[in-house]
Structure 1
Amino acid sequence: MRRMTIMKRYLLIVALTVVGLAMMIGQFGCGGGGDDYAGQGTGTIALGVIFPPRPSQVSPAAGEGLPNATNSVRITISGATGGGGGTEPWTREAVLVRPAGGGTVQTQFQNIPVGSCTVLAQAYGTNDGTGQIIAEAQTNAAVTSGNTTNVTMTVDTLAVSVDIPATLNMEYGQSVNVTPVALDADGNVCINVNYAWTNTAPAVVSVPSTGSSVTFAALANGTADVTVTDSRSGEQDTCHVSVLTRAPVKVVLDPTSANLFLQGDPSTVQINATALDATDQPISYAVITFASAGDTVASVSPTGLVTANGAGVASITVTATTPTGSAQAIFPVVVTDTGKLGIVVR
């Protein structure tokens, strides 16, 4: 079993300094020279990336920075030139590839227009800066002529997989909590995720539209496919939900009958009813109702309390119902009027 750890990762771009074993380091050296963009001048941005060693090449304590699975980093710098905040967009890109043993790889971007620009770093498991993005960072930087700019960036590792149960069998009325597990390229749990949920059959199972841990509530017989998507990485997984509603085939009563008295005890009795399925298993979600065929003799409350009203015989019908069927049982009641005494003289 893979041990899962939750890690924070950092990407640091700092001027003319290399610090940290597994950090991404960049150097912004901005000066004059090069082409002139609308009279604004240009500068140079020098960047360096420190690729972490493989796990076999470094002790476990040194594992903070880019994912170990990183094989290349694509650096994209973009901005706009011209008056009024910039009207002519420009972009510069470079792909830095991991050396065999890890370490620093540097590059320079020449003729960068003076002003504000956006720096985007995206890590890949491939060697050419394409495919699935496994970590990324973005920040803004101000390029000024003759000055050096320090920029700090925080790396967000992205999920390369999201997992929820492939199947889920539920019963009508049941609720189940489902929590996705998102892993990064190193098999660590991603904590910065944003989940959205979609559901093909809302009438069968209820699922919230967002949330990192949600409750599935079974509403009716049928099936549904529930998909969770991490909006940051686009990774998703689907759970096939089946909802079953059992039909009652009999109702067990306790007690099974009653003799009541108008003038003495007992004058009432509580009926306890249990609905059973075809395998004699109780159905907890069955709705139990009670009805009396002779209220003048014995009446019954909605909860099954029988009360003596007059001498005679009455029948209480107990019904258990689920969305797929129902069953009944009869509870006989004999009521005796103990207020009338017969005296026999011999």
Structure 2
Amino acid sequence: MKMLRLLSALWALFYCSGVFAAGTVPGFSLTPQFDMLGKPAVGCRLYVIQAGTTSTPQNAYQDTGLTIPLPNPIVCDSTARLSQFFVADGTIKLRLTDKNGVQLFVGDNLLVVGPSSGGGGGGGTVDPTTIAATGDLKVAYGTSVLSGWVRANGRTIGSATSGATERANADTSALFAYLWGADANLAVSGGRGASAAADFSANKTIALPDLRGRVIAGRDGNSLAGRIGSGAGSFGVNNDTLGAAGGAEVHSLITANLPPYTPSGSVLSTLLNGGSTMYGFTIPGSNVGVGGAVTGGTQTQITTLLSVSSSFTGTAQGGTSAAFDTTQPTMLATYYLKL
């Protein structure tokens, strides 16, 4: 009896502690299947088998905790799509038949793509460095919602009853907690509580990073690079702050953008002869002699200097001071965050 209680306790510890890390097999979970003619294989059957065996069944589950088993085989729905399923990390064997039992696919030692390595699989373990982890970003050339991902579009995630605008579902809890801890500037509806878990349970939402219309630059981190951010142009934000956003699509040229230049030159402002005075002649009834000599006249000193000034107004030239484009050559795709 003592041994039975001990085994029960070990079973509870083993299963409730999350030792069985879970994953799925790309190309099958939530994916339509087709027959040999390329038609949707409505009612097809997927047999989940232990790797390295002929037909020894292995359980598949509805949940990542591996607590709610699915039928084996899993039957395709009316759209020929298999339901979402999870199996223990490692490798697995799958056999797919049509509704009449005709084999469409069989594969052994298929890699179970999951969040970590762990026991319980039918073969080797998964290298966690080769798979996407919660909070990872990826770019996809498409516009649709992807299973297991949400778009980095500034909308919100939360529990099924949170009213979140991007995804309201229990499967957002891991990303909710990750973002809650990674970036304190991401808004939580109603304000941040004691913990991410408490806020998620309270059906609050958290805003996703908003990467719409933005490119990504690496934060400085360990040392100042001086390429963007503080002291490096018009980015205008701290270059070590996660999620900081700056820059602008267009810019208007102002005087401060022009290079410094001091004009120089000379303008004739005073008519001088000899440095300080100019002499003229009043010659009533006299003649100018040979060589310009004056005869019979009276010399008069001009003590008031002649000042010269001028101004003009030209015709306006050039443009209208419109802002100019600063956008680098760009093509649009969609950023996604891993749940």
TM-score of the superposed pair, with normalisation by structure 1: 0.23
The structure with the greater share of residues assigned to helix is: 2
The structure with the greater share of residues assigned to strand is: 1
Query: Which structure is larger by alpha-carbon Rg, 1 or 2?
Result: 2
Which gives a bigger RCO, structure 1 or 2 (Cα 8 Å, sep 6+)?
2
TM-score of the superposed pair, with normalisation by structure 2: 0.23
